Amino acid sequence: MYDLDDETKLIQNTVRQFVTDVVMPTAADIDIKDEFPREIYRSLGELGLLSMTLSEPYGGANASTFAWSVVQEELARGSAAVADAHMVNKLMCDVLLSNANEEDREHFVPKMGRGEVICAIAQTEADTGSDVAAIKTAARKVDGGYLLKGAKQFITFAGICDIAIVVATIDRNLGRKGIGLFLAEATSEGFHRGAKNKLMGTRGLETGELVFEDCFVPDHRMIAPPGEGMKRSLSSLNSGRIGMAAQSIGIAQAAFELSLRFAKDRTAFGGPIANLQAIQFMLADMSVSIEAGRLMTRRAAHARDANRPLIREVAEAKLFASELAAKVVDDALQIHGAHGFSQEATIERLYRDARVYRIWEGTSQIQRIVIARQLLAA
CATH number, domain of 79, equals 1.10.540.10
Where does the pLDDT of residue 1 fall: very low under 50, low under 70, confident under 90, or very high at 90 and above? Answer: low
- Nearest in space to 75 (alpha carbons), one of 88, 62, 64: 88
The predicted structure's pLDDT at residue 129? 61
Given a cut of 90, is residue 230 above it in pLDDT?
Answer: no
Domain that holds residue 255: 233-377
The predicted structure's pLDDT at residue 368? 97
Question: Could you tell me if residue 44 is inside a domain?
Answer: yes
Residues 108 and 123 in one domain: no
CATH number, domain of 148, equals 2.40.110.10
Distance separating alpha carbons of residues 292 and 275, to the nearest angstrom: 25
CA 277 to chain centre: 36
Residues 142 and 275 in one domain: no
Angle at 116 between CA 113 and CA 117, to 5 degrees: 85
Where does the pLDDT of residue 25 fall: very low under 50, low under 70, confident under 90, or very high at 90 and above? Answer: very high
Q: What is the model's pTM?
A: 0.95
The predicted structure's pLDDT at residue 234? 66
Residues 261-275, mean pLDDT to the nearest whole number? 96
Residues 258 and 299 in one domain: yes
The predicted structure's pLDDT at residue 163? 98
Distance separating alpha carbons of residues 319 and 296, to the nearest angstrom: 10
The predicted structure's pLDDT at residue 197? 95
Residues 245 and 370 in one domain: yes
Instruction: Write out the H or E segment, with its range, that includes residue 243.
Output: helix 237-265
Q: Is 182 exposed, middle or buried (0-12, 13-18, 19+ CB in 10 A)?
A: buried
Catalytic residue among 74, 316, 348, 361: 361
Residues 70 and 163 in one domain: no
What percent of the chain is modeled with pLDDT above 70? 97
Question: Could you tell me if residue 1 is inside a domain?
Answer: no
Question: Which of 159, 193, 227 lies at the terminal end of a domain, its last residue?
Answer: 227
Cβ count near 127 (within 10 Å) = 10
Question: Could you tell me if residue 28 is inside a domain?
Answer: yes
The 3-state secondary structure of 98-159, one letter per residue: HHCCHHHHHHHHHHHHCCCCCEEEECCECCECCCHHHCCCEEEEECCEEEEEEEEEEECCCC
Contact call for residues 27 and 349 (beta carbons, < 8 A): yes
The predicted structure's pLDDT at residue 238? 82
What is each CA distance from 140 to 65, 137, 187, in whole angstroms? Answer: 37, 10, 20
Find residue 218's DSSP bridge partners.
145
Residues 232-252, mean pLDDT to the nearest whole number? 88
Residues 372 and 238 in one domain: yes
Residues 372 and 285 in one domain: yes
Contact call for residues 168 and 197 (beta carbons, < 8 A): no
Residues 256-269, mean pLDDT to the nearest whole number? 97
Residues 35-43, mean pLDDT to the nearest whole number? 97
Convert the pLDDT of each residue in 334-355 to its tens digit: 999 999 999 999 999 999 999 9
Distance separating alpha carbons of residues 127 and 135, to the nearest angstrom: 8
Which positions ≥6 away from 34 have C-beta within 8 Å?
198, 199, 203, 204
**For helices 38-46 and 80-99, angle between their N-to-C axes, nearest 10 degrees:** 60
Given a cut of 90, is residue 232 above it in pLDDT?
Answer: no
Residues 91 and 123 in one domain: no
Distance separating alpha carbons of residues 116 and 138, to the nearest angstrom: 29
Verify whether residue 344 is a known catalytic residue.
no
Convert the pLDDT of each residue in 168-227 to its tens digit: 999 888 888 899 999 999 999 999 999 999 999 999 999 999 999 999 999 999 998 887
The predicted structure's pLDDT at residue 206? 97
Residues 110-122, mean pLDDT to the nearest whole number? 97
Where does the pLDDT of residue 76 fall: very low under 50, low under 70, confident under 90, or very high at 90 and above? Answer: very high
Residues 80 and 183 in one domain: no
Given a cut of 80, is residue 110 above it in pLDDT?
Answer: yes
Residues 105 and 240 in one domain: no
Residues 90-116, mean pLDDT to the nearest whole number? 96
Question: Could you tell me if residue 141 is inside a domain?
Answer: yes
Angle at 275 between CA 272 and CA 279, to 5 degrees: 100
Query: Is the CA virtual torsion 46, 91, 206, 100 positive or negative?
Result: positive
What is each CA distance from 355 to 157, 297, 359, in whole angstroms? Answer: 20, 19, 8
Query: What would you report as the CA-atom Rg of the chain, rounded to the nearest whole angstrom?
Result: 21
Question: Which of 201, 227, 253 lies at the terminal end of a domain, its last residue?
Answer: 227
Please tell me which residue, 331 or 227, carries the higher pLDDT value.
331
Distance separating alpha carbons of residues 84 and 164, to the nearest angstrom: 17
Residues 253 and 369 in one domain: yes
Question: Could you tell me if residue 167 is inside a domain?
Answer: yes
What total of structural domains would you count in the chain? 3
Residues 269 and 360 in one domain: yes
Residues 274-298, mean pLDDT to the nearest whole number? 98
Question: Could you tell me if residue 89 is inside a domain?
Answer: yes
What is each CA distance from 230 to 132, 179, 353, 368, in whole angstroms? Answer: 7, 6, 28, 21
